[in-house]
Amino acid sequence: HLLEVALQPDTDVVLEKGSNLVLSCQASGCPQPEFSWKNLANMPILRQIKTDGFQSQLFFYLVELKDEGTYLCEVTCGSIKKSKQTNLKVF
């Protein structure tokens, strides 16, 4: 498998408190990708996640300061794992 993972937006995100954001993670080159979302602070992600086939989305409604951090979308395809990450800053 040539597993590829793309995360949108793919640059650091700076948001005002109370804004909305969708992180969208897409996998290609894998018939049945498995998605998982993590943040590097190892805090539980209490936000809505919607996964549909080759895409998984993490929804932030009304971001708060505590949402700040680095978020990682990890895709597993059989024995292969790939991930992409982005930083979220809130002011």
Domain ranges for the chain, please list them: 4-86
Instruction: Please check the confidence at residue 87 and state whether its pLDDT lies above 70.
Output: yes
Instruction: Please check the confidence at residue 8 and state whether its pLDDT lies above 90.
Output: yes
Instruction: Please check the confidence at residue 21 and state whether its pLDDT lies above 90.
Output: yes
Q: How many CB atoms lie within 10 A of CB 40?
A: 11
Structure tokens at 54: 């080759």
CATH topology for 4-86 is: Immunoglobulin-like (2.60.40)
Q: Annotate 70-88 with b (16+ C-beta within 10 A) or e (fewer).
A: ebbbbbbbeeeebebebeb
Band of the pLDDT at 41, cuts 50, 70, 90?
A: confident
Band of the pLDDT at 5, cuts 50, 70, 90?
A: very high
Counted residue by residue, the chain has a size of 91
Instruction: Please check the confidence at residue 3 and state whether its pLDDT lies above 90.
Output: yes
